[in-house]
Amino acid sequence: MSRVSLLSDLLSSLGARTWFGERAENQPVPVTELTALCAKLVRSKGEATGVRMASEILGGLRALDEAGTERFFRALAEEFSPEAPALKAAAEAYAKDPSPKTLSVLQKLAEPPRQELFRRLNLAPGGTAELVKLRERLLPLLKSDRETFAPVDLDFRHLFQSWFNRGFLVLRPIDWTTPANILEKIIRYEAVHAIDDWDALRDRLAPSDRRCFAFFHPSIPDDPLIFVEVALTRDIPASIGAVLAEDRAALPAHSTDTAVFYSISNCHKGLAGVSFGSFLIKQVASDLKDSLPNLKTFVTLSPVPGFAAWLKRLPEDVVEGFTPEEKAAIAIVADQGLAFDAEWAFETELAEEARDGLLSLAARYFLRAKRSDGQPVDPVARFHLGNGAILNRIMHLGDISPTGLSQAHGLMVNYLYDLARVEQRHEAYADGQEIAASRAVTSLLPAGAGPHSMKDVA
Amino acid sequence: MSRVSLLSDLLSSLGARTWFGERAENQPVPVTELTALCAKLVRSKGEATGVRMASEILGGLRALDEAGTERFFRALAEEFSPEAPALKAAAEAYAKDPSPKTLSVLQKLAEPPRQELFRRLNLAPGGTAELVKLRERLLPLLKSDRETFAPVDLDFRHLFQSWFNRGFLVLRPIDWTTPANILEKIIRYEAVHAIDDWDALRDRLAPSDRRCFAFFHPSIPDDPLIFVEVALTRDIPASIGAVLAEDRAALPAHSTDTAVFYSISNCHKGLAGVSFGSFLIKQVASDLKDSLPNLKTFVTLSPVPGFAAWLKRLPEDVVEGFTPEEKAAIAIVADQGLAFDAEWAFETELAEEARDGLLSLAARYFLRAKRSDGQPVDPVARFHLGNGAILNRIMHLGDISPTGLSQAHGLMVNYLYDLARVEQRHEAYADGQEIAASRAVTSLLPAGAGPHSMKDVA
Amino acid sequence: MSRVSLLSDLLSSLGARTWFGERAENQPVPVTELTALCAKLVRSKGEATGVRMASEILGGLRALDEAGTERFFRALAEEFSPEAPALKAAAEAYAKDPSPKTLSVLQKLAEPPRQELFRRLNLAPGGTAELVKLRERLLPLLKSDRETFAPVDLDFRHLFQSWFNRGFLVLRPIDWTTPANILEKIIRYEAVHAIDDWDALRDRLAPSDRRCFAFFHPSIPDDPLIFVEVALTRDIPASIGAVLAEDRAALPAHSTDTAVFYSISNCHKGLAGVSFGSFLIKQVASDLKDSLPNLKTFVTLSPVPGFAAWLKRLPEDVVEGFTPEEKAAIAIVADQGLAFDAEWAFETELAEEARDGLLSLAARYFLRAKRSDGQPVDPVARFHLGNGAILNRIMHLGDISPTGLSQAHGLMVNYLYDLARVEQRHEAYADGQEIAASRAVTSLLPAGAGPHSMKDVA
Amino acid sequence: MSRVSLLSDLLSSLGARTWFGERAENQPVPVTELTALCAKLVRSKGEATGVRMASEILGGLRALDEAGTERFFRALAEEFSPEAPALKAAAEAYAKDPSPKTLSVLQKLAEPPRQELFRRLNLAPGGTAELVKLRERLLPLLKSDRETFAPVDLDFRHLFQSWFNRGFLVLRPIDWTTPANILEKIIRYEAVHAIDDWDALRDRLAPSDRRCFAFFHPSIPDDPLIFVEVALTRDIPASIGAVLAEDRAALPAHSTDTAVFYSISNCHKGLAGVSFGSFLIKQVASDLKDSLPNLKTFVTLSPVPGFAAWLKRLPEDVVEGFTPEEKAAIAIVADQGLAFDAEWAFETELAEEARDGLLSLAARYFLRAKRSDGQPVDPVARFHLGNGAILNRIMHLGDISPTGLSQAHGLMVNYLYDLARVEQRHEAYADGQEIAASRAVTSLLPAGAGPHSMKDVA
């Protein structure tokens, strides 16, 4: 609110001419007028004028309905792209004579005017946050007509990668003394283990053995970009239920030895593809170690979102070659129809019967199943292994929530971050897609699994 | 310092492998190793690795001597430019078939890898400030070999214009409660009217009728980018001496009616060409008006740095056509040899005799003298008129310091910012180079000056 | 928490001898040991020792049950009072020869050692807040045995009046950006119109036409002492329901003209008798006027807590002399048995019938009914009139909540703060108990009410 | 300034009646009017009125000249003391019947109305700081007429001890990022080793091996109460010159092992007798140890202000019994006339000759010389030994500045704070005046010194 009022103050003190003239309240500005003003903004040299124009354009865009939004992005795609004839001439000139001079002309003409438009829209108070939201509205269109909209999206990403460079981000702890307007966003954005209300939030933040950290951008100080929730424990917990139990007793922080990263949430769809997660985990681990030297182990407690689906799409002949325990497990978990009321998990005997087979199947899933590009099938595994973590443990019945059962037949895993070795591991993974796993995990692989990858059929 | 220690903590907690191996202290890293690590950094996918590499490269660069620096920039120009063969092929493909696909390839290949290098160097703690300093070291080379180094400089500017976008800058007041480490920079950076020591600084900041404001970038929180010093007065002061007099009595702020912007200083050469001045003045004027509604007039008290030189290079036949007063004035100020001990200015009678002629010549200088591009000869005039200000008054004996006398024969001027009209004026100036001037100024023009521009011979 | 951990750090770094020796966890320290350590603390000269002793005593006191608490306070009353024989001798010496010297001895011996004890307990981290809570535990004992405990309470009050001097308090706005640990206390402490949950809290704090301010003591930075909730409105609202309606549309703050103080809550029973309310209202009104010059009217929207009870205890013969409308109103509201499901208020016709009589009775209640000390019967009226406010309006059906109906037959009132005149009015009230009331209120008095006070029988 | 303007805003918004009427500027308010308003303030019940009255009284007091100040304090002594007749009656009543009731009356009447006056003057913005300055003006009068003014001073001290309770003080680091308005006070208040200018200040604060900490009161946030300067070193330095040398190279903080407290300065004479020093040293030592676990030793580098004077006043017959080395040393240092150009200290041979004797004399001075109350003669020794420190080392030529030579013939000493043992040592000292000293110090005592104290003749 203060930013907006600041703007209106600024505008009124500047004499407050509006670009769109008088208009009945709630009457949106037509898209053609918006794009015309965008064109004027890109060409303008008047900097103070620019602030005003940017604000009015962003205001106009906020008011657009879905159809208007699509028309606007289409106009961005068509009218704010490089000018083909001029660029063609420059390309020919460079092709004929690749010199610094022809290169410079080519570069200048190859950059879409959209980028300059976005930079100038950023002049408006609150502009950065608005642009992130604007891209969020582009993403659905991208699915329906990639060819038209991908170039627009590329320009957003190009700018965001520059603006949201790790060097500009600020790490801040989130706790029970954090302002409420930020905390309500933590409730809203939590994507892994939902927070029901403010009491639940306090249980995540206030106890002496809980921590939370978020990255912020200085221009969006009251809205986190990504945050991670951490439980300080003695030993690695065997399930998420144990971590979130309402009636547990909190431990003094200095008596713990393990930091468990049990939830990482990206907050803005509009920043898709601009990644902070790896930096966040390592920075938080490093900061925690500094302030609590008693911490020895840094692990995640992570979901296995692709396991059940992968199991389902395994060709029959492949399953044929599995061990009897594996086949038994498949029979148990498959029998139960929709996984989310999977009764087997709550019947001790059945659950116990499925254990060895499930763990063995999971070992295949993580260590042998590969996408066509050679990477692991599991997206969370790709993220953490890519960060230099090691797959440390697979836990039977680690998450018996409906989501946990339907996605992963109840499995959870730990990825362990050994700060002294993440770099080498990262490189080993990046170079050779070497899956780093503990003995506890590799020993789950059945003898007959062999050394070869299983190409995934997805 | 805290950022650096933070870094070393981070590094040590990460296990602290160094890229350059053991090396005797103060033994600089060879340029070839630096550029090799730069190449590795651009290619690398490991984000945490990147932070470390960036820090070590920046450390290595800091230690380079002048010759090493030049070799490094030369390597940047040669080895981190677009790859000619690939780009050539892409240019030909685009020229043959200008489609989104060929365009996308062309764009990707046209961007110099230097830009990605700079973005990744920014990952290092303190990286943004380091990159600004790095560009500062490039600027002298630009003068000696523009062809080689201009493309490198272009990449710096391209990134800086994005990173130092007005939308990311923070305006902060500077006063006597500002931390000393920032204040010592104000002393160092003041470029217009030097500040001798801390007592002089307090005289500029502490009195009730003094204000100072600076723009900061969030990643460089203890080093201003640009600052402006303001005197609150009753009426527009007739000289800078009156503003800076040591023995003056301070006025209560709420009893003043005029804000005089008497000094604007850019702080970092490395940000040359990335302009903030216009935003700063308007924002400060707007903020001052909000907090002190009694302020009615916003003017600068500005030097006239080009006047004396222009007068000197006027062709004799042109001077021939001037009025007798003008010729007399020229005689008086020219007679005195080196302007900086210009005695005429301190002899009341002589000074009075020169007055009318000098003011008349100044009117020609501002209103008629034009560069080949049609803009005014005076650089300060170009800045303020371009911001939408009006040339409000020319003051005889406004600055009788050695600099004032040698550059401008003692003249100073006011540019007036009428916030309600700066936009229209800015546009009128941008479109038609219309010199906005008050009646007080235009009436100084001698009748015979005519409506036509005088092309400057410089 | 941070204060406490800071303490434990401090203690452990100091070598951490404990005064009470090893003790099974949760095993409270006996009262006799606590008072012995109190005695040691009062006598001790070692300042660092004092911090530790104070912390341990406060810890021990926290763990005492009710009986232990009483024993402790009894010990304070008996063992930490002035020593009678010595004081008696000093009194005799002074009575015989009242000189500076005998006076000084008398003063020294007359001050109970309890005061020094409290001052030294305040050395402990968090000590100030602990002492406030300690007094809260004394208050119930005061009711049962005033003679014993009143002197102890007097010492608390004496110190608190010095420590919580207005000159040390800090006024801070409370809004939706306030830390959650403070906001949860606002929910807990709200004493006038309860706040059900965090959504309700946001409705009180976040809208553009709502404000809240609290006084804090610097040593208790996360716990307010008193706070006031303000609604910005156009015109004075006719009921609390209109102010708190969930579906109302918020007004822009700069378009309002009235600030309504609709709830003032003291937060700590332990500070009973140490008053901040008057300062808070005037400071908030003054600050609001500064930041929103459009505000012209500052009123409370206040309950009338004593009205129904006063009406009930009126002698029959007095009621006999009332007007027919008044008698009718009494009949209507009295008929309904328990007031808190008072149906008459929800039957339009009946409610309308009661209006004139109730307003007339209320005018008698405010303007004529007096306690034996000559002050108005209504405690809220005493507070605001004593602050220099004027009784501005009496509103029929202003609060139809169960509380509003049972205490005040639905009446609410406005007290108006005319900042330019509160001082004179305060003095007129303090000197002559002159009840300042608007014409709108005085004109409600029936003609036969006469100029004389009605002595209240309570 | 902001506090003052805040006040004037507050006053003007309150309608701004002034108590002293119109008055020519710079025309001070007569003392009689000031005391009359003081009397009114003590009696008043109007709290908002009180703020205004307090401000005007403090303003009037600021303007008083010396004679007026004395008249004012005399009025405080005479007119704001307990009323003798009433107090006498209360004393008699208590003497006859010492009951809670008679005690309560006695206490109330024994408290001078001055205390309530001071508490109410504290209501004014900036009141706390003003009252501290007011007491500073009382102190000289105390010397000339103790009988009259001591009771007034007692009331100041009584209140200040309550208000400046350690529990209310805030410890803040002072460094080169501290606001300039605070730093200029550090320059002004430094009482031990003067700071010449801002460059010298930076040398004390900015290097990586320097620290400074101050206690602040929350109501005087820009003016420290006491501060300590610390050098981080390897080993204990042998002289102050080594610590303050301009050309020394700074050490990385984490490579040091010793924290040297080389300067402690009280900032306000008006707080004389309200001591913070002991808390400050222990808190700072504890905080340093927390953040730099490498620190093992905490020592002062202290002057020996009473040594030369004590030596001078030693009776001849006592000196007669000293060792030949001691007599030789006395001859050397006594020969030199005024100590402050004591040439012997700069002549290597002479200085060396004096060494053993001086150290031996110093050992007598610290370990044997006693005041009539049994405490050591040296005031700095009394302070540190009273805090629980141990006399660790005596350094020949530790301070060869004029002050060091004239006061202590060049000696400096270390007091060592062993945090784990300060409490026991404090108690041992407090109980039995046991002088804790290291073997290095006690071994300096000549064999013939014997176990007995030397009563000082001063």
pLDDT classification of D308: cutoffs 50, 70, 90: very high
Distance from CA of A162 to the nearest CA of B (A): 7
CB pairs < 8 Å spanning C and D = 202
Distance from CA of B91 to the nearest CA of D (A): 54
Q: How far apart are CA C284 and CA C211, in angstroms?
A: 10
Q: Which residues of D326-399 form beta strands (DSSP E)?
A: 369-370, 390-395
Average pLDDT over residues A374-382: 92
Residues 374-433 of A with CB under 8 A from B: 386-388, 419-423, 426-427, 430
Q: Is A14 in Cβ contact with B286 (below 8 Å)?
A: yes
Residue numbers in D near B180 (CB within 8 A):
176-180, 183, 198, 202
Q: Is the pLDDT of residue B457 over 80?
A: no
Q: Is A13 in Cβ contact with B290 (below 8 Å)?
A: yes
- Which pLDDT score, from 0 to 100, does residue B12 have? 40
| Average pLDDT in chain A | 89
- Which pLDDT score, from 0 to 100, does residue C3 have? 36
User: Starting from the edge strand earliest in sequence, which strands make up the sheet with B170-173, in order?
Assistant: B170-173, B210-216, B226-233, B258-266, B297-300, B412-416, B390-395
Average pLDDT over residues B124-151: 95
- Which pLDDT score, from 0 to 100, does residue A121 have? 96
- Which pLDDT score, from 0 to 100, does residue D428 have? 84
Task: Find the Cα–Cα–Cα–Cα dihedral B117, B118, B119, B124, rounded to 10°.
Answer: 100
| Average pLDDT in chain C | 89
Residues 203-222 of A with CB under 8 A from C: 206, 208, 222
Q: For C181, which of A177, A208, A222 is closest by C-beta distance?
A: A177
- Which pLDDT score, from 0 to 100, does residue D68 have? 96
The string of pLDDT tens digits covering residues D119-163 is: 999 999 999 999 999 999 999 999 999 999 999 999 999 999 999
How is chain D split among helix, strand and coil, in percent rounded to 5?
55, 10, 35
Of B402-406, C72-76, D123-127, D443-447, highest mean pLDDT: C72-76
Residue numbers in A near B111 (CB within 8 A):
107
Domains of chain A are 3-163 (1.20.140.90), 167-300 (3.40.630.180), 307-442 (3.40.630.150)
- Which pLDDT score, from 0 to 100, does residue D21 have? 58
- Cβ atoms B256, B293 nearer than 8 A: no
Q: Is B180 in Cβ contact with D183 (below 8 Å)?
A: yes
- Which pLDDT score, from 0 to 100, does residue A51 have? 85
Q: Is B202 in Cβ contact with D198 (below 8 Å)?
A: no
Q: Residue D307: CB partners within 8 Å, gap ≥ 6?
A: D361, D362, D365, D378, D407, D408, D409, D411
Handedness of CA B301, B305, B308, B310 (dihedral sign): negative
- Cβ atoms B119, B159 nearer than 8 A: yes
Question: Would you call D167 an interface residue with chain C, using a CB distance cutoff of 8 Å?
Answer: yes
More confident residue, C47 or B109: B109
Residue numbers in C near A208 (CB within 8 A):
1
pLDDT classification of D9: cutoffs 50, 70, 90: very low
Strand partners, B394: B413
Q: Is the pLDDT of residue D87 over 90?
A: yes
Q: Is C222 in Cβ contact with A177 (below 8 Å)?
A: yes
Q: Is C177 in Cβ contact with A181 (below 8 Å)?
A: yes
More confident residue, D30 or B451: D30
Residue B7 parent element (H or E): helix B2-13
Question: Would you call B150 an interface residue with chain A, using a CB distance cutoff of 8 Å?
Answer: yes
**Percent of chain D surpassing pLDDT 70:** 91
Q: How far apart are CA C100 and CA C92, in angstroms?
A: 14
Q: Is B179 in Cβ contact with D222 (below 8 Å)?
A: no
Q: Is the pLDDT of residue A39 over 60?
A: yes
pLDDT classification of A26: cutoffs 50, 70, 90: low
Average pLDDT over residues C430-434: 76
pLDDT classification of D453: cutoffs 50, 70, 90: confident
Residue numbers in A near C197 (CB within 8 A):
198
Ranges A309-313, C261-265, D447-451: which has the least confidence: D447-451
The string of pLDDT tens digits covering residues C279-311 is: 899 899 999 998 999 999 999 999 999 999 999
Q: Is C181 in Cβ contact with A179 (below 8 Å)?
A: no
Q: Which residues of B254-387 form beta strands (DSSP E)?
A: 258-266, 297-300, 369-370
- Which pLDDT score, from 0 to 100, does residue C24 have? 52
pLDDT classification of C450: cutoffs 50, 70, 90: confident
Question: Would you call C1 an interface residue with chain A, using a CB distance cutoff of 8 Å?
Answer: yes
Average pLDDT over residues D286-295: 92
Closest alpha carbon within chain B to A148: B100
Q: Is C167 in Cβ contact with D123 (below 8 Å)?
A: yes
- Which pLDDT score, from 0 to 100, does residue B24 have? 52
Q: For B122, which of A48, A119, A167 is closest by C-beta distance?
A: A167
Residues 56-115 of B with CB under 8 A from A: 81-82, 84, 87-88, 91-92, 94-95, 98, 100, 103-104, 106-107, 110-112
pLDDT classification of A23: cutoffs 50, 70, 90: low
Average pLDDT over residues B65-89: 95
Q: Is C13 in Cβ contact with D167 (below 8 Å)?
A: no
DSSP B63: T
Question: Would you call A172 an interface residue with chain C, using a CB distance cutoff of 8 Å?
Answer: no
- Which pLDDT score, from 0 to 100, does residue B393 have? 96
Residue numbers in B near A127 (CB within 8 A):
167
The string of pLDDT tens digits covering residues D324-367 is: 999 999 999 875 555 456 788 888 899 999 999 999 999 999 99
Q: Is the pLDDT of residue D14 over 70?
A: no
- Cβ atoms A390, A366 nearer than 8 A: no
Q: Is A363 helix (H, G, I), strand (E, B) or coil?
A: helix
- Which pLDDT score, from 0 to 100, does residue D448 have? 78
Q: Is B66 helix (H, G, I), strand (E, B) or coil?
A: helix
Distance from CA of A243 to the nearest CA of B (A): 27
Q: Is D9 in Cβ contact with C48 (below 8 Å)?
A: no
Write down the pTM of the prediction.
0.89
Q: Is the pLDDT of residue C112 over 90?
A: yes
pLDDT classification of A431: cutoffs 50, 70, 90: confident
Q: Is A198 in Cβ contact with C197 (below 8 Å)?
A: yes
Average pLDDT over residues D362-386: 92
Distance from CA of A189 to the nearest CA of B (A): 25
Which token pair is B72?
Answer: 């490094």
pLDDT classification of A445: cutoffs 50, 70, 90: very high
Q: For A151, which of B81, B104, B166 is closest by C-beta distance?
A: B104
Chains in touch with C (≥3 Cβ pairs < 8 A): A, D
Question: Would you call D196 an interface residue with chain B, using a CB distance cutoff of 8 Å?
Answer: no
Q: Minimal CA–CA distance to A408: which of A300, A311, A265, A325? A: A311
Residue numbers in C near D166 (CB within 8 A):
47, 51, 122-123
Q: For C180, which of A1, A178, A197 is closest by C-beta distance?
A: A178
For chain A, count helices (H), then strands (E): 21, 9
Average pLDDT over residues C334-362: 83
Distance from CA of A339 to the nearest CA of B (A): 37
Q: How far apart are CA A421 and CA A435, in angstroms?
A: 14
Residue numbers in C near A9 (CB within 8 A):
none
- Which pLDDT score, from 0 to 100, does residue A47 have? 64
Helices B66-79 + B127-144 axis angle, to 10: 90
Q: Is the pLDDT of residue B16 over 60?
A: no
pLDDT classification of B323: cutoffs 50, 70, 90: very high
More confident residue, B49 or D207: D207
- Which pLDDT score, from 0 to 100, does residue B192 have? 82
The string of pLDDT tens digits covering residues A188-238 is: 999 888 899 999 999 999 999 999 999 999 999 999 999 999 999 999 998
Residue A259 parent element (H or E): strand A258-266
- Which pLDDT score, from 0 to 100, does residue A230 have? 97
Q: For D88, which of C9, C98, C278 is closest by C-beta distance?
A: C98
Pairing of strands B170-173, B210-216: antiparallel
The string of pLDDT tens digits covering residues D248-267 is: 999 999 999 999 999 999 99
**Percent of chain C surpassing pLDDT 90:** 69
For chain C, count helices (H), then strands (E): 21, 9
pLDDT classification of C419: cutoffs 50, 70, 90: confident
| Average pLDDT in chain B | 89
CB pairs < 8 Å spanning B and D = 37
The string of pLDDT tens digits covering residues C52-111 is: 889 999 999 999 999 999 999 999 999 999 999 999 999 999 999 998 889 999 999 999
Q: Is D14 in Cβ contact with C48 (below 8 Å)?
A: no
- Which pLDDT score, from 0 to 100, does residue B14 have? 38
Average pLDDT over residues A86-90: 94
pLDDT classification of A336: cutoffs 50, 70, 90: low
Strand partners, D394: D413
Question: Would you call D249 an interface residue with chain B, using a CB distance cutoff of 8 Å?
Answer: no
Q: Is the pLDDT of residue B11 over 50?
A: no
Q: Minimal CA–CA distance to B417: which of B325, B285, B315, B228? A: B285
- Which pLDDT score, from 0 to 100, does residue B3 have? 37
pLDDT classification of A12: cutoffs 50, 70, 90: very low
